[in-house]
Each structure stands twice: as structure tokens, then as C-alpha cells.
Structure 1
Amino acid sequence: MIPYGTGRPLLTPVDLDGSRRSARLRRLGLGKRADASFDSFDAFADRVAEVTATPFSIVNFIDENRQFFAGLHTPAGIRGGADLGAAAAAGSGGRYLARDHGYCPHVLVRRKALVLEDVCDYPRFAGNPVVDDIGIRSYLGAPLIDRTGVALGTVCAVDTVPRAWGRAGLDTIKLPAREFVVQLERREAVNP
């Protein structure tokens, strides 16, 4: 565990690929709201929310210091992330989140999908700030591993109530993650 600024233990796993990922994100022009092509990322997040029937879904790129919601679906359709409450940092319309918040950093380091039917059932995850700040109770997330083998971020769906995702939920979130990686590869081929 890494010490947290408040003296509590930080349960976010150590990320040994952070520098490599950050360089790859910069090379791809990802990790910050740069141009209109990010609208397609929002549309992708909308589709994930529809498929999973969740109020929130995110296409999330993670660098060494923070998370960036390149694609965002919220219940009210607010693209700036205001629905994410105090957990979303100011700047870029609230599309940034501290690196130690949420479950996507775990997916990134594990390089495997994660299903949490009720985050409160897992002591390691129940104390995460997003539980209190946003009210997240269930989570589905899958890594975005590009052609170079770098895990750039995640696609995730979250709900404010426990959900019985099961194996079907795991399969459901893996498919859009694979689709999104293909979308990134096409984007890179057009903008080498």
C-alpha cells in the first residue's frame, strides 16, 4: 500500500506502467480533451450505458497522476461530469478524477476485467471515495489494451444500486472494450 495524504492507506495498486502509458497517450493525442473526435467517445459511452442499463458509463484514460473521462455518460446527460459530484475535479468540465479514486486503476494494473456486484461486499473497495462522493454501489470495467500491449485505460459501467452482473456482465463489458480498441487503432491509422 502507498501512504495517502490524510494518513490513511491508499488501496490503489502500484502502477509500474504509468510512464509508458502516459507517453503512449501523448503519442495518440489522448488523455485530455483535444478535439471534436472526442464526441465519438461520448457516443460510445452512451452505447455502453444502454447495453448495460446503467446510469453512468465511462471511457477512461489513466496517466501517472489522474484519470480522464474521454467518453462520459451520466443520468442527466451532462457531459461535463457535474453528475459525478465532489469526486470529479474541477477543470475540463469535471472530466478528471484523482488517480486513487474509483476502480478503473485496479482494472488497469490487473489488465483484466473486474465485476463488483456490490462494492460494499469488498472491504478493499468499499472505502473508496467514489462510494461516498458519487454513491457508486456496483461496477463493471474492462481494460483498453492497445496493439503495443499498453493498457491505456478502461471502459466501465457503474450503478448506484447493487447489481447481479454475474458472468454475463463480465462478457458484456469485455465486448465494448475490444470494440473501442479497434476504434483507437483506426484513429491511429488515420493520424499516424
Structure 2
Amino acid sequence: MSGTSPAVDPVVTEVLTRAAQSTGEDVDVYIGRAVATRLAADLLGSDDPDLTTVITALRSTGLTGAPSTDGDGIPLTPPTAATDPVIRDPERLRVLFDTGLMDTVAGPAYDRIAAMAVDALDVPSAGVSLVSDEKQWFCSAAGLSGELAETRTVSMDRSLCQYAVSSGTPLIIEDARVHPTLSEHPIVADGTVVAYAGIPLTDAQGHAIGTLCAWDDKPKQWTTGHVQVLEDLATIVRERIFGDDEF
């Protein structure tokens, strides 16, 4: 191994080398990623806001995703309450609640955007979702049914949008039933969501407060055109929430 790494048993060194090669990484990078992942896991339960910055910085380097997650940053076990430091970030939550949209119905302009997403993507449902540290709330939507149409609320253990919010990147899933982590997710297991596409709604400082998302109860092959349309509509939502532009 290169650098100034401490002495390691030759057998361990050989195993590390093979493991790094299997991922296509340098040994030092492989070890750094493992250390960063362990560090993020150890810091996860802390309420110290400075540690949120540390974990976010680790993620930005690409060394680690959310602790105990799969390659898409999705927890192996859906949380019943927010545990991700990004979701719990006080500044992100301040931005969210300052919009005045949490626990309110946003109005017809947002409903038109959701309806556009349904028509353009040929899906039954789409919405503007907001994610707090307690729940996911649809301030606007098209195609909601059953209890969700009445409550507009999704518990954290059933939320998919929280993962797009946490990573700050789009989450696109064609068939969650065969996803290595999401196949057992409650909202997938009961057939509510099979295909999902969510684009984070972020402010100028990069705080994601929710998503513009679309979903189907059957598999869907999302094309680059579908994703681009959703991103364009998400830009309109962002401008309406955070900017001065009129829709």
C-alpha cells in the first residue's frame, strides 16, 4: 500500500488489495471510503449541528453515502422517524417552513404543474411533496386516491421523496419491486408505488425541501425525455417557491 499507512498484516493487505481492485479503486481510496462510511455512521445519532456539516462534506467528496444505505443512498431499513442528518438539518427545516407551504394546500398554479407532469409522463399520479423531519406532505398533487387524497401525508417509513431530498439528486426507479433495497419498502410492498421519479426542489444555497415527483403502480421505463420534462417542471416550481418569477 502507498502513503504513510500504518503497518498491516500481509494477509490483510492482500485482501484489501483484492477488494479495492474489485471496485476499480486505489487501495488508499478504498480504505478512505470505508473510514468515511464508518465515521458517518458513528456521527449519525448526534444532535450537534456541526456534525451535519461534516457528514454533508463527506458526501460531497463522494467517499460515502448515507450510513447503512445501498448504492443509491437508500437506507436498508426504512426509518420510522428522520435519522438522516441532512433531513434533520435545522437550516434546511428553516428554509422549508419559511415557504409557508408545509401543511397547506398550495393552490391551482401548483396543481396545474402536477397535472402537466401526469400528462407529459403518462403516469396516474404526480405531486409537489415537502419533506420535514416528521413526515412527507403533498402541498399539491394530481391523481391522489384513497386515504392519501384525504390526508396528503406520508409517514417517514413510507416516504421515497426523502431519499431524493437527502442526496440532493434525482431519484429514478423503473421497478422498485426488483430494486435491491426498495423491494421490501412498505410503499412498494403494498403495491402503491412501483415506478418513481423525483426531482429535488432546492433553494440557491442547495437546501432541498421536497420534490416534484411522479409515480405509477406498475413498472415504467423512464426516458431521458421524461426526466428532462420533470426537471423543467421542477425548475418552474423552484422559481415559484424561492424566486420572484410569476407562473
Tell me, yes or no, if structure 1 residue 10 matches structure 2 residue 78.
yes
Query: Which residue is equivalent to 1:40?
Result: 109
Match 1:162 to one of 219, 232, 235 = 219
Tell me how far apart the structure 1 counterparts of residues 192 and 87 of structure 2 sit (CA, whole Å). Answer: 29
Q: Alpha-carbon deviation of 1:13?
A: 7.3
* Mapping of residues 52-91 of structure 1, within 5 Å: 52-74=121-143, 81=144, 83-85=145-147, 88=148
Q: Which amino acid aligns with 1:163?
A: K
C-alpha separation in 2, matches of 1:50 and 1:101 = 25
Task: Please report how far the alpha carbon of residue 17 of structure 1 lies from its aligned counterpart in structure 2 after TM superposition.
Answer: 4.3
Assess if the C-alpha contact under 8 Å between 1:114 and 1:170 holds in 2: no
Q: CA deviation at 1:159?
A: 0.8
Q: Which sits farther off after the overlay, 14-23 or 60-69? A: 14-23
CA 1:48/1:110 → structure 2, altered by over 3 Å: closer, same or farther? same
SS in 1 for 2:213: strand
- Which amino acid is 1:16 matched to? V
Verify the 8 A CA contact 1:13 1:106 in the aligned structure 2.
no
Determine if contact 2:201/2:209 at 8 Å carries over to the other structure: yes
Instruction: Measure how far apart 1:38 and its partner are.
Output: 2.6
Letter in 2 for 1:181: R
User: Which shifted more, 101-110 or 162-171?
Assistant: 162-171
Unaligned runs of 5+ in 1: 3-7, 75-80
Distance 1:94 1:26 in 2: 19
User: Unpaired segments of 5 or more residues in structure 2?
Assistant: 1-67, 70-75
8 Å contact 2:87–2:165 — kept in the other structure?
no
Alignment match, 2:97: 26
Counterpart among 160, 165, 168 of residue 111 in structure 1: 168
Counterpart of 1:98? 155
Residue in 2 that maps onto 1:77: none
Q: Which runs of 4+ in 1 moved over 6 A?
A: none
CA deviation string 1:104-133 (max 9, x = no partner): 111111111111111112121111111244
| 1:5 paired residue number | none
* Aligned partner of residue 164 in structure 2, secondary structure: helix
Alignment of 1:147 with 2:204, yes or no, is yes
| Structure showing greater Rg | 2
SS in 1 for 2:158: coil
Matched, 1:175 2:232: yes
Q: CA deviation at 1:180?
A: 0.9
Distance change (3 Å), C-alpha of 1:102 and 1:28: closer
TM-score with structure 2 setting the length: 0.61
Query: What one-letter code is carried by the residue in structure 2 that aligns with 1:14?
Result: D
Task: Give the secondary-structure state (helix, strand or coil) at the position aligned to 1:140.
Answer: strand
SS in 2 for 1:70: strand
Q: Distance in 2 between matches of 1:181 and 1:55?
A: 23
Query: Secondary structure at the residue paired with 2:198?
Result: strand
Greater share of strand: 1
Instruction: Count the aligned residue pairs.
Output: 170
Letter in 2 for 1:27: D
